[in-house]
Amino acid sequence: MEKVYQRPKTLAAAPTRYCPGCMHGLVSKLMAELVEEYGIAGRTVAVLPVGCGAMSKNLFTFDVVCAAHGRAPAVATGFSRCAPDKIVFTYQGDGDLGAIGLSEIVHAANRGERFMTVFINNSTYGMTGGQMAPTTLVGQKTTTTPLGRDPLTEGYPMKMCEILSQLEAPAYIARFSLRTPAGVRRAKEGLRKALEIQLRGEGFAFVELLSICPTNWGLSPENCLKWMAEQSEKVFPEGEYSRAKEVK
């Protein structure tokens, strides 16, 4: 028998620091698989956020740098401009990217910087105990919206792919849901497109991954998947919002 699926060597030989069922582990695995497949561990830099995603620093065996809250796009900009031979990706949660770091991501995308962003949307601030994020659904209960998010006082969920796709510069913007094995495979192909854009030096690419936070949603991982199908996928549909332009 032949081994047809194996743990990538670009992941440290230890369990993740994530809660059971947390899809941060899954997203980190996908990135580690791609880095291994393309043989670029020696020249890849992950710029990690403040948020649960920072715990991937113990997971990746290639270079990581941890940015201040929301500032991963600024750090990635500096890194990729000063070291153009490096493959740079930011790894950011929805609080990090959509709240405190909103202007950083918008301006980096608008400048078409040469890095890719992996955006983990779990509709909450996971690390700090489940407060409302910009991506929290209308009616969703969080510790800061105990009666459910009310658009009158808290606004509506922010759709980052749709917002960023209004800009001229980005080479690729897409969203995938990690709910099913097929969705995970589509997500990996989307991440592959974004990575190949980096390998060709074609500029900014953005991949949003619809995820779960079982701990703060207060649901089992299985029930989180149901909630995604019934709720979050309706607000955050999968799709490619902006495709690579012809490079002259």
Partner 1 sequence: MARITIEAEYCKACGLCVSACKKGVIRFGGGTNAMGYHAVEPDETKGCVGCKLCAVVCPEAAIEVYR
Binding site for ligand SF4 (CB under 6 A): 18-19, 22, 24, 52, 122, 126-127, 213-216
Site string for partner 1, 16-55 (x = CB under 8 A): x-xxxxxxxxx--x--x-----------------------
Give the CA-trace dihedral at 122, 99, 78, 88, to 10 degrees.
Answer: 10
Place of tokens 């409302």: 132
Residues 6+ apart with CB under 8 A from 97: 49, 70, 72, 105, 117, 119, 160
SS (H, E, C) 217-233: HCCCHHHHHHHHHHHHH
Phi, psi of 243 (to 5 degrees): -105, 160
Which among 150, 143, 83, 123 has a CA at the least distance from the CA of 210? Answer: 123
Which of ligand SF4, ligand TPP, Mg ion, none binds 117 (CB below 5-8 Å, type-dependent)?
Answer: none
Site string for ligand TPP, 116-145 (x = CB under 6 A): ----x-x-xxxxx----x------------
Cβ closer to partner 1: 22 or 161? 22
Q: In the set 26, 30, 52, 191, which binds ligand TPP (CB under 6 A)?
A: 52
* Site size toward partner 1, by CB under 8 A: 32
Cβ closer to ligand TPP: 25 or 190? 25
Contacting positions for ligand TPP (CB under 6 A): 49-53, 69, 93-96, 120, 122, 124-128, 133, 213
